[in-house]
Chains A and B, each alone.
Chain A
Amino acid sequence: MKSDGQVKTIELIIQHGLTEEEYAKIVEILGREPNLTELGMFSVMWSEHCSYKSSRMHLTRLPTTGDRVVQGPGENAGAVDIGDGLVAVFKMESHNHPSFIEPYQGAATGVGGILRDIFTMGARPVALLDSLRFGLLDRPQNRHLFKGVVEGIAGYGNCVGVPTIGGEVVFNEIYGQNPLVNVFCLGIAEKDRLFKGRAVGAGNPVIYLGSKTGRDGIHGATMASDTFDEASESKRPTVQVGDPFTEKLLLEACLELMAGDLLVGIQDMGAAGLTSSSCEMASRAGTGIELDLSKVPRREPSMTPYEIMLSESQERMLLVAQEGRQAEVLKICRKWDLAAEVVGRVTEDGLLRVRDNGTLVAEIPAKALADEGPRYERPSSPPAYQDWLQSLNMDAIPDVKDPTACLLSLLDSPTLASKAWVYQQYDHMVRTNTLVRPGSDAAVIRIKGTDKALAMTTDGNGRYCVMNPYLGGTIAVAEAARNLVCSGAEPIGLTDCLNFGNPERPDVMWQFSVTIEGIKDACEALNIPVVSGNVSFYNETNGLSIYPTPILGMVGLIEPAARAMTQWFKQAGDAIILLGSTGEDLGATEYLRVVHSREQGTPPQLSLEREKAVQTCVLRLIRESLVHSAHDCSDGGLAVAVAESCLSHPMQPMGAVIQLHSKGLRRDSLLFGESQSRVVVSASPVHTNAVLGIARELGVAASAIGQVGGERLILDVEADPRGTGCRIDADLGSLLDRWATSIERSLCA
């Protein structure tokens, strides 16, 4: 072992993001002091980002099994059986920290990383979705971040030729210093041809493929495991630069390699680059790997072993080939003009052994590096302000006076407004599978060669979560599932991206733990397994945390594909039917934020039993071809849901006339409250009774509330003993003016 003779001072250890105790454990594992290269390798692998040291014991509570689950968490992505010998392979990842430092490249490389996670499994990526959170657009920095991130996602995804078919964007001050960029990707593979990141078979050659290694992104994983302050700008060099063209070549080369029987294992060099890919593949297979750094293709001269092992240069893969087949592997790589070299071999001794020009520069048990990092059960307790957050005296908030003006303000809020400005920059049609484009509850793609389609959505409400993490977690699952069901799909699996603050703070850890409990309960009740995911901690700048924001990417199966459903009204004269019941659910709503400038109160209550009944009902209505549209009621409540059904038709917006009975509720609760488990459907009037009958049979409250048609949206609330009636009345043109152009206007401000 090459000792570097350097004394590992506390400063050096802390600089590497390790604690003294963690360092002591490293010395114990090695039976000696690490050299600097080894210290760097431990530093990245034991970072929160790679080791999940604060989250792992909580994540084990999530349900990860089910009849369809072919691959659960632990591999590069999860896989779910969709029949016909095929699996859907999907995962979501965060790229929050890099996107704040450098929005274009941060977001672009986020897309690149998640694409590699999918094709590493032998799946061809067929869909991307993005869940984004930014500060309000009245600040120039937020506009810069928003535009840069959207452009980065577009720049990368469009070039690689994978359609970006959906996602969500939410604007709130709390994300001003910590934007969230969560990227979801789904691919399709043959069930019996899934590839894994396993370095099996001692003697098998280890092959480096892809871009050459440079000094970019060194310590990216460590950067992503820290909070930000004013000096964060100086971290710009830790953000990598994406090269989607090389990614496209890499994608095609890998799929061509995997079509034969040349490879036994493959893994993307993502965070912690060569270090993570080699030790994780060896650890999973119970083997070791020997690397010769002098063979690693490099972009710059005189890189040190430390730099080569820690570089996060993008668009690189590590392959383990069948012994004797390396020439065939290299031939395919060269066809695609990619750098490829045999850089090592699999061993039996369980060690990751690194040589540079013959000198041994690192020797670490692969398992210790990949899987035996520290685990923490960090202290957890609710913050002192929790009760205040959840309390809201509704008597102090006057009921709505001018509901038309309120609706216009809500439609004008960039969070609720049309996202066409965003998704028109994404190629959402390439690969010619997109049956339902962005702009409905979920996007839908067909699976060529079958009669099936998949619906996908991303959802998560940070405001609900900060007020009540348990409800926030359950509602995130319920709403994602509801979005799929409204698209005609049966939910079959989910991936989660858990964005939280600093886990060393007990209140953040409490939010995390309770949110997971909520997700778990909802997943169990709705029978949806979690098959992959990612945790992003340290979303905190200058001591201010983001709202706890779990984002769920959920996938549903539609069969036959023709059953795909959309949210918009289609036929004048159709009856509008509300499924589910409305209560006084104004706490933590978008209405309170936009109209009363308050973010407070208890989020809407959720009964998982009722949720399940509503979803069963909607699926049955769609399967029996009884409805023409189905739309989930969420942010902005019933009035916004109906307005969206009116406005979101891609060619022909349609008006509606609705009569509501207040049943003793406040007008604002009725119109803008966010009671859960509600869906607005439209149906031919001849089917109204059939729809109401099925709802009754399934125990779902349902009422016919109006008709589609005309050039106006009219919502009448009748007078009752509690108050006078009120009316929303606006022509489609003025509603469209607000809703369709809000984001563009905000950017020009």
Chain B
Amino acid sequence: MNLGVIVFPGSNCDHDCVHVLGEVLRQSVRQVWHKETSLDGLDAVILPGGFSYGDYLRTGAIARFSPVMGAVKQFASVGGMVLGICNGFQILLEAGLLPGAMLRNRSLTFICTDVYVGVENAATPFTGRCEPGQVLKLPIAHADGNYYTDDVSLSQMKANAQVVFRYCTADGAVTPEANPNGSLDNIGGITNADGNVLGMMPHPERCAEEVLGNEDGRLIFLSMIDALKKAKLQPKTVTA
């Protein structure tokens, strides 16, 4: 597979994603500089975590104007797989590729810790390796991960199974105590209506190796690779 990791000025998890995809999962991966305007030849792209443009304004608010974002929108519109992690999720929200917005964490502080999320939808191209309802242990590291959207959009997302991850206890119970940042409905990750764009606050690239004591994050990347392989076997239904 040819995978791209987009590097915005201030991205700081780009190396980590490249490491997991290239060194750990042995895929072909390249960094895509934010001034590039084409994603030709890539099968999927990842918007990594970090502080694009320092996030001095609203998180992701400036990165959405980066030249590469036009190509990302185009790529997504023809069914290309796009994964936004943490700051990448925030950028996808700002770019309008996903519904909703991020507020400051309920605690008003940055939080770096392991959390549990339940897989609400195991039928997406990002979660195919998971069982429905499976609980994953994943790290979070953010100050603005308090997801919010309006009632109409929330019910649409629910009806459409777009809520993919919800913060929960180790046993899978979705409780207020298990919600690390105050997110609406304990939401930790969502897709767009077509299911080809996923935004998630937890960092799967930080737990994809045995040496780090946790490999749950691997499931996300392996699911993506599975889905891409499957798609390659089928004739394309959309062309750019």
Chain A positions near chain B (C-beta within 8 angstroms): 151, 154-155, 158-161, 243-246, 248-249, 336-337, 423-432, 434-435, 446, 448, 561-562, 650
- Among residues 1 to 50 in chain B, which have CB atoms less than 8 Å away from a CB atom of chain A? 9-10, 12-13, 15-16, 19-20, 23, 49-50
CA distance A151 to B110 in the complex (A): 8
CA distance A161 to B20 in the complex (A): 17
Ordered by A's residue number, 29 sampled pairs between the chains whose C-beta atoms are within 8 Å are: A154-B109, A155-B110, A158-B141, A158-B143, A159-B12, A159-B55, A160-B12, A161-B51, A243-B54, A244-B54, A245-B51, A248-B54, A424-B109, A424-B110, A425-B109, A425-B110, A425-B111, A426-B110, A427-B110, A427-B141, A429-B112, A429-B206, A430-B49, A431-B15, A431-B16, A432-B16, A434-B212, A446-B211, A650-B114
Residue of A243, A427, A435, A650 touching B112 (CB-CB under 8 A):
A427
Q: Give the interface size bracket for B toward A.
A: 20 to 34
A-B pairs with lowest CB-CB distance, top 9: A161-B12, A245-B54, A159-B51, A427-B141, A432-B16, A425-B110, A427-B112, A154-B110, A429-B206
B51 lies within 8 A of A244 (CB): yes
Q: Please give the distance in Å from A649's CB to the nearest CB on chain B.
A: 13
Q: Which residues of B lie under 8 Å from residue A160 when comparing CB positions?
A: 12
Q: Please give the distance in Å from B8's CB to the nearest CB on chain A.
A: 11
A245 lies within 8 A of B109 (CB): no
Cβ contacts B96-137/A at 8 Å (1 or 0 each): 000000000000011111100000000000000000000000
Q: Which residues of A lie under 8 Å from residue B112 when comparing CB positions?
A: 158, 423-429
Q: Please give the distance in Å from A597's CB to the nearest CB on chain B.
A: 32
CA distance A446 to B141 in the complex (A): 20
Q: Please give the distance in Å from A453's CB to the nearest CB on chain B.
A: 9
- In this assembly, does B218 line the interface, its C-beta being within 8 Å of a C-beta of chain A? no
CA distance A434 to B139 in the complex (A): 12
Q: Please give the distance in Å from A72's CB to the nearest CB on chain B.
A: 30
- Choose among A154, A161, A246, A426 the residue with the greatest number of B CB atoms under 10 Å from its CB: A161
B12 lies within 8 A of A432 (CB): no
Interface of B is mostly: mixed
CA distance A427 to B203 in the complex (A): 12
CA distance A158 to B59 in the complex (A): 14
A158 lies within 8 A of B13 (CB): no
Q: Please give the distance in Å from B6's CB to the nearest CB on chain A.
A: 15
Q: Which residues of B lie under 8 Å from residue A244 when comparing CB positions?
A: 51, 54
Provided the pairs A154-B110, A158-B141, A425-B111 are in contact, do residues A430 and B13 lie with their beta carbons within 8 angstroms? yes
Q: Which residues of B lie under 8 Å from residue A561 when comparing CB positions?
A: 211
B111 lies within 8 A of A161 (CB): no
When C-beta atoms are compared, the residue in chain B nearest to A564 turns out to be: B211
- In this assembly, does B209 line the interface, its C-beta being within 8 Å of a C-beta of chain A? yes
Known interface pairs A245-B10, A430-B12; 15 further A-B residue pairs with C-beta atoms within 8 A, sorted by A's residue number: A154-B109, A154-B110, A158-B110, A159-B10, A161-B13, A245-B53, A425-B109, A427-B141, A428-B112, A429-B112, A429-B141, A429-B203, A430-B49, A432-B20, A432-B206
Chain B positions near chain A (C-beta within 8 angstroms): 9-10, 12-13, 15-16, 19-20, 23, 49-51, 53-56, 109-114, 139, 141, 143, 203, 205-206, 209, 211-213
Q: Which residues of B lie under 8 Å from residue A245 when comparing CB positions?
A: 9-10, 51, 53-54, 56
Residue of A154, A159, A426, A429 touching B139 (CB-CB under 8 A):
A429
B206 lies within 8 A of A159 (CB): no
Q: Please give the distance in Å from A744's CB to the nearest CB on chain B.
A: 10
CA distance A245 to B12 in the complex (A): 11
B111 lies within 8 A of A435 (CB): no
Q: Please give the distance in Å from A210's CB to the nearest CB on chain B.
A: 14
Q: Which residues of A lie under 8 Å from residue B212 when comparing CB positions?
A: 432, 434-435
B9 lies within 8 A of A161 (CB): no
When C-beta atoms are compared, the residue in chain B nearest to A561 turns out to be: B211
Q: Which residues of A lie under 8 Å from residue B54 when comparing CB positions?
A: 159, 243-246, 248
Q: Which residues of B lie under 8 Å from residue A650 when comparing CB positions?
A: 114
Q: Which residues of B lie under 8 Å from residue A434 when comparing CB positions?
A: 212
Q: Please give the distance in Å from A539's CB to the nearest CB on chain B.
A: 28
A430 lies within 8 A of B141 (CB): yes
When C-beta atoms are compared, the residue in chain B nearest to A650 turns out to be: B114
Q: Please give the distance in Å from B137's CB to the nearest CB on chain A.
A: 9
Q: Which residues of A lie under 8 Å from residue B213 when comparing CB positions?
A: 435
- Choose among A158, A160, A429, A446 the residue with the greatest number of B CB atoms under 10 Å from its CB: A429
Q: Which residues of A lie under 8 Å from residue B53 when comparing CB positions?
A: 245
Residue of A151, A337, A448 touching B19 (CB-CB under 8 A):
A448
Q: Which residues of B lie under 8 Å from residue A151 when comparing CB positions?
A: 109
Residue of A248, A426, A429, A435 touching B10 (CB-CB under 8 A):
A248
Q: Please give the distance in Å from B51's CB to the nearest CB on chain A.
A: 4
CA distance A432 to B50 in the complex (A): 13
CA distance A434 to B50 in the complex (A): 17
When C-beta atoms are compared, the residue in chain A nearest to B50 turns out to be: A161
CA distance A428 to B206 in the complex (A): 11
Q: Which residues of B lie under 8 Å from residue A562 when comparing CB positions?
A: 211
CA distance A429 to B113 in the complex (A): 9
Q: Which residues of B lie under 8 Å from residue A427 when comparing CB positions?
A: 110, 112, 141
Q: Which residues of B lie under 8 Å from residue A431 when comparing CB positions?
A: 15-16
B209 lies within 8 A of A248 (CB): no
When C-beta atoms are compared, the residue in chain A nearest to B109 turns out to be: A425
B209 lies within 8 A of A337 (CB): no
Q: Which residues of B lie under 8 Å from residue A425 when comparing CB positions?
A: 109-112
Residue of A249, A426, A448 touching B9 (CB-CB under 8 A):
A249
- Choose among B12, B16, B20, B212 the residue with the greatest number of A CB atoms under 10 Å from its CB: B12
Provided the pairs A151-B109, A425-B109, A427-B112 are in contact, do residues A432 and B10 lie with their beta carbons within 8 angstroms? no
Q: Which residues of A lie under 8 Å from residue B113 when comparing CB positions?
A: 424
When C-beta atoms are compared, the residue in chain B nearest to A248 turns out to be: B10
CA distance A248 to B15 in the complex (A): 14
When C-beta atoms are compared, the residue in chain B nearest to A436 turns out to be: B213
CA distance A448 to B20 in the complex (A): 12
Q: Which residues of B lie under 8 Å from residue A426 when comparing CB positions?
A: 110, 112
CA distance A337 to B9 in the complex (A): 9
A248 lies within 8 A of B51 (CB): yes
Q: Please give the distance in Å from B218's CB to the nearest CB on chain A.
A: 12
Q: Please give the distance in Å from A304's CB to the nearest CB on chain B.
A: 30
CA distance A244 to B51 in the complex (A): 9
